[in-house]
C-alpha cells in the first residue's frame, strides 16, 4: 500500500469519529500552490535578512525586487518607526548576510515616512552604515527617493563628525570610492563643520587640498606607500597598520607584503576573501608556519563575533575555497587541507551557542529546482543554504533524521533519507546535495511519512523557498492528523529561504513557527521552540 493510501485510510477513520476543523484561508503562491500569507512584520524581516537580488524560481528577480521594494516603501510610509527599529536590530546584530536590504529600507524610511520617523531613520545612519561603502550605498538609495535636503546633509555630516579622526581616516582610505560616490562628493554636499584641527585637515585632504599632515600618520603613510619600492612596504605596513586596500595594486602579488599584513592581523571578513590569494602565494601550505596562525584566526569565536561574520559568508568562503576555483574569472589554487578544515569549523562557530532541546527532529530539505536560485545575490543557492543550516541542528540534536524531496524514480514516496551527516565536511555535503535527483516539493510528505510508518517525531523542520505546489493535502492538515494519531504535541517549523510573502505554516497555530532566512540565531530559536 502506498503512503497516500495508508494516509487516506487513517484520515477516513478519524473523520468518521470527529468532524475536521475548517481549513484556514489560503492564497495562491507564485508556483500555483496554496499557502498562507505572512504578516507584514514577517515580510519586513524576510526582506531585511534575505533581500531580493536573486528572485525565486517562479518569479523573476526584477519582478520580485519590484514587489518587495513597493512593499517596503509602503510599509515605511505607514510604519516608519517600527521599520527603523527592525533595521537597527537586524543590522547591529549581524543577522543579514548583506547590508543592502537594510540600507535600502533605511533610505526609504528617511524619505517617505512621517516627520518623526524620518528623523529616527537619519539618526540611525551611523549604526546601520558602519563603513564607507555602506554610507555610499545609503546615499545612492536615498537619492532615488529624495533631494539633498537639510536632514540628509546633517545625517551624512554626523557620520564624518562622530567617528574619531583615526577611525575616520581608516574608513576614508580603505573605502575611497564605491557606487559612483567618493568622500569628496559627500563632504561637498554635507558641509560638516568642525573645530577639530586634525579633522579639518583630514577634510581638506579628502577634498584635494594639500594640508600639513602632522597628526594624520595614516594619511602620510598612505601617500608614502604609493611611491616607495615594494621592498619598503612591509616596514611601512607594520608601522602604520596599512590595509591591503591602501596599497598599490602591483604590490599585492608580493608574499612579503602579505606576511606584513598577516602580522598586523587582517580583519576577519577580509581574511576570508583573501584565502585563495594567500594560497596561490604559497603562504598557506600545510607545513607553513603561517598556516596554523591563519587557521587559529579563522575559528576564533571572538573575532567572528566582533567582525559580525554571517554564517553565509563563512559558508561561501568554505565552499569556494574547497572548490579551488573562483566563481568569477578563471583563477585557481590548490586548497590547503588545514584551511579547509578551519573554514568548516568557522561556519559552525559563526552561529550562536546552541543547546540541545532533547527532542526528536525530522529535518526535510526542499532542494528542488526552485531551490537552485541563489539567495540574497550571493554565490550560494537556497538548496545549499538549507542543507548547511539543517546540519547545524543535526549537530546539536542527537535524535534526528534528514530527508529530501526526491523524484519518484528514486522513491515511491517522493521522499528519501539523505546520506549526509554533520560529521562530514561542508564541501562534501554540498556536493552530495547538489547532485541528487530532486523532484516537486510536497511539504506535507515528511508528516505523511511519519504518520504512515508510525514514527514518533516532536518537531518537523522544513527548509524551503515556500514556492511549493505539489500534493493533495496541505502541511497543516497533515499535522492535525498526525497530532491526533501519534503525537499531540508535534510541532512544525518552516524556514523560508526567499523573501516572498507566502508560508506553509498556519499563523493561527501556536505549534507552527515561521522563520525567515539564514540567520545566526536561527538554530537557537529552533531549539528553544522545540523545547517549549
Q: Report the distance separating Cα 387 and Cα 213, nearest Å.
A: 53
Say how many CA atoms lie within 13 Å of 156 toward its Cβ.
28
Q: What is the pLDDT of residue 50?
A: 65
> If residue 362 lies in a helix (H) or strand (E), which one and from where to where?
strand 361-365
Q: Which pLDDT tens digit goes with each residue over 55-91? A: 333 334 445 467 778 888 999 999 999 999 999 998 9
Q: What is the pLDDT of residue 142?
A: 92
CB neighbour list of residue 168: distance below 8 Å, 6 or more residues apart: 160, 199, 202
Closest Cα to residue 241, out of 206, 213, 267, 212?
267
b/e for 488-519, b at 16 or more Cβ within 10 A? eebbbbbbbbbbbbbbbbbeeeebbbbbbbbb
What 3-state class would DSSP assign to 471? coil
User: Which residues of the chain fall short of a pLDDT of 50?
Assistant: 1-4, 6-7, 10-24, 27, 29-34, 53-62, 64, 409-411, 469-470
Task: Pull the grid cell for residue 202.
Answer: 583630514
Quick check: 341 and 298 in contact, CB under 8 A? Answer: no
**CATH architecture assigned to 3-36+355-531:** 3-Layer(aba) Sandwich (3.40)
Map out the domains of the chain as residue ranges: 3-36+355-531, 265-350
Quick check: 370 and 58 in contact, CB under 8 A? Answer: yes
Q: What is the pLDDT of residue 208?
A: 93
Q: What is the pLDDT of residue 32?
A: 44
Phi-psi region of 215 (alpha: psi -120 to 50; beta: other; left: phi over 0): left
Residues facing residue 516 across a β-bridge: 496
Chain centroid to Cα 246, Å, comes to: 28
The two most distant CA atoms of the chain are separated, in Å, by: 90
Residues facing residue 492 across a β-bridge: 460, 512
Amino acid at each position: 500500500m502506498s503512503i497516500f493510501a495508508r494516509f487516506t485510510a487513517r484520515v477516513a477513520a478519524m473523520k468518521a469519529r470527529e468532524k475536521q476543523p475548517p481549513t484556514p484561508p489560503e492564497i495562491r503562491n507564485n508556483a500555483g500552490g496554496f499557502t498562507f500569507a505572512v504578516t507584514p512584520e514577517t515580510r519586513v524581516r524576510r526582506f531585511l535578512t534575505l533581500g531580493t537580488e536573486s528572485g525565486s524560481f517562479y518569479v523573476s528577480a526584477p519582478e520580485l525586487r519590484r514587489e518587495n521594494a513597493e512593499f517596503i516603501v509602503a510599509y515605511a510610509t505607514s510604519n516608519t518607526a517600527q521599520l527603523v527599529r527592525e533595521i537597527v536590530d537586524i543590522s547591529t546584530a549581524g543577522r543579514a548576510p548583506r547590508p543592502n536590504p537594510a540600507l535600502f529600507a533605511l533610505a526609504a524610511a528617511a524619505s517617505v515616512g512621517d516627520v518623526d520617523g524620518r528623523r529616527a531613520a537619519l539618526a540611525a545612519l551611523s549604526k546601520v552604515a558602519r563603513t564607507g561603502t555602506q554610507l555610499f550605498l545609503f546615499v545612492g538609495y536615498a537619492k532615488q527617493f529624495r533631494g539633498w535636503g537639510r536632514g540628509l546633509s546633517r545625517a551624512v555630516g554626523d557620520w564624518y563628525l562622530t567617528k574619531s579622526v583615526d577611525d575616520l581616516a581608516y574608513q576614508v582610505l580603505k573605502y575611497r570610492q564605491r557606487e559612483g560616490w567618493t568622500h569628496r562628493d559627500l563632504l561637498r554636499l554635507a558641509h560638516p563643520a568642525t573645530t577639530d584641527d586634525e579633522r579639518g585637515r583630514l577634510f581638506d585632504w579628502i577634498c584635494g587640498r594639500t594640508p600639513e599632515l602632522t597628526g594624520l600618520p595614516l594619511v602620510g603613510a598612505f601617500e608614502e606607500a604609493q611611491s616607495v619600492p615594494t621592498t619598503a612596504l612591509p616596514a611601512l605596513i607594520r608601522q602604520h597598520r596599512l590595509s591591503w586596500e591602501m596599497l598599490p595594486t602591483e604590490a599585492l602579488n608580493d608574499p612579503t607584503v602579505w606576511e606584513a599584513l598577516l602580522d598586523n592581523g587582517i580583519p576577519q571578513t577580509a581574511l576570508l576573501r583573501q584565502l585563495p590569494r594567500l594560497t596561490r602565494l604559497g603562504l598557506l601550505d600545510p607545513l607553513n608556519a603561517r598556516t596554523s596562525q591563519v587557521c587559529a584566526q579563522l575559528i576564533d569565536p571572538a573575532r567572528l563575533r566582533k567582525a559580525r561574520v554571517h554564517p553565509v559568508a563563512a559558508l561561501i568562503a568554505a565552499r569556494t575555497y574547497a572548490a579551488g576555483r573562483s566563481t568569477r574569472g578563471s583563477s585557481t589554487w590548490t586548497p590547503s587541507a588545514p584551511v579547509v578544515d578551519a573554514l568548516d569549523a568557522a561556519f559552525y562557530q559563526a552561529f550562536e551557542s546552541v543547546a540541545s532541546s532533547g527532542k526528536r527532529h525530522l529535518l526535510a530539505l526542499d532542494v528542488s529546482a526552485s531551490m537552485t536560485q541563489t539567495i540574497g545575490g550571493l554565490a550560494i543557492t537556497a538548496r545549499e543554504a538549507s542543507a548547511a543550516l539543517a546540519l547545524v541542528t543535526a549537530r546539536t540534536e542527537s535524535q534526528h533524521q534528514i530527508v529530501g524531496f526526491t523524484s519518484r524514480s528514486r522513491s515511491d514516496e517522493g521522499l528519501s533519507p539523505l546520506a549526509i551527516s554533520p560529521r562530514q565536511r561542508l564541501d562534501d555535503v554540498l556536493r552530495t546535495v547538489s547532485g541528487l535527483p530532486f523532484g516537486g516539493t510536497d511539504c506535507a510528505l515528511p508528516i505523511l511519512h511519519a504518520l504512515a510508518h508510525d514514527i514518533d517525531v516532536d518537531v518537523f523542520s522544513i527548509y524551503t523557498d515556500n514556492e511549493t505546489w505539489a500534493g493533495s493535502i496541505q502541511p497543516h492538515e497533515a499535522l492535525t492528523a498526525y497530532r491526533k494519531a501519534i503525537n499531540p504535541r508535534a510541532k512544525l517549523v518552516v524556514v523560508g529561504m526567499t523573501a516572498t510573502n507566502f508560508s506553509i505554516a498556519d499563523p493561527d497555530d501556536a505549534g507552527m513557527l515561521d522563520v525567515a532566512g539564514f540567520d545566526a540565531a536561527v538554530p537557537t530559536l529552533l531549539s528553544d521552540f522545540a523545547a517549549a
